[in-house]
Structure 1
Amino acid sequence: MRVKCVICDTIGQLDDDLPLAKKLRNRPINTYMCDVCHTRIAENTTARIETGNFRFYRSSPQMDKEF
């Protein structure tokens, strides 16, 4: 299955038997993000969390204190 990254527009290949390929076929709202973009976003998010200016808006205040 050919897939396209939503951020960098690179075209990749997924095996048709993978669960991710099935999810993308059956639910068009789900989008694909390549490994390079995924790791870049994870690193940037971790760096923002470490600054202390990052706030989780979907979590409760109790979870923010524990984190």
Structure 2
Amino acid sequence: MKVKCILCEKLETIDDDSIVAKRLRNRPIHTYMCDECHDRITRKTNERLRLKKITDEDENSL
């Protein structure tokens, strides 16, 4: 199955029998995101949460 990442628009081919392909076929609202974009978003989200936690701890110590 050919898919396109919603963020970078990179075209990829995934196995027709994979769970991701099944979800995309059965639920059109689901979108595909390549591994690189998924990892980048995960990393940035974790960094943002870590910074928020540090900021919250600093405010609580005042």
TM-score (normalizing by structure 1): 0.76
* Unaligned segments of structure 1, at least 5 residues: 54-67
Distance 1:12 1:3 in 2: 5
Please identify which structure carries the higher helix content: 2
Is 1:3 matched up with 2:3?
yes
User: Which of 1 and 2 has greater Rg?
Assistant: 2
Distance 1:4 1:39 in 2: 16
Coordinate RMSD, CA, aligned: 0.9
Deviation at 1:25, TM superposition (A): 0.7
Counterpart in 2 of 1:65?
none
Amino acid corresponding to residue 9 of structure 1 in structure 2: E
User: In the TM superposition, what whole-angstrom CA distance separates every residue of 1:12-60 from its partner, at most 9, and x where no partner exists?
Assistant: 000001011011011110000000000000000010001116xxxxxxx
Indicate the percent of aligned positions where both proteins have the same amino acid: 51
Count how many residue pairs are aligned between Structure 1 and Structure 2: 53
| Greater RCO, 1 or 2 (C-alpha within 8 Å, sep 6+) | 2
Counterpart in 1 of 2:16?
16
* Unaligned segments of structure 2, at least 5 residues: 54-62
Distance 1:31 1:52 in 2: 29
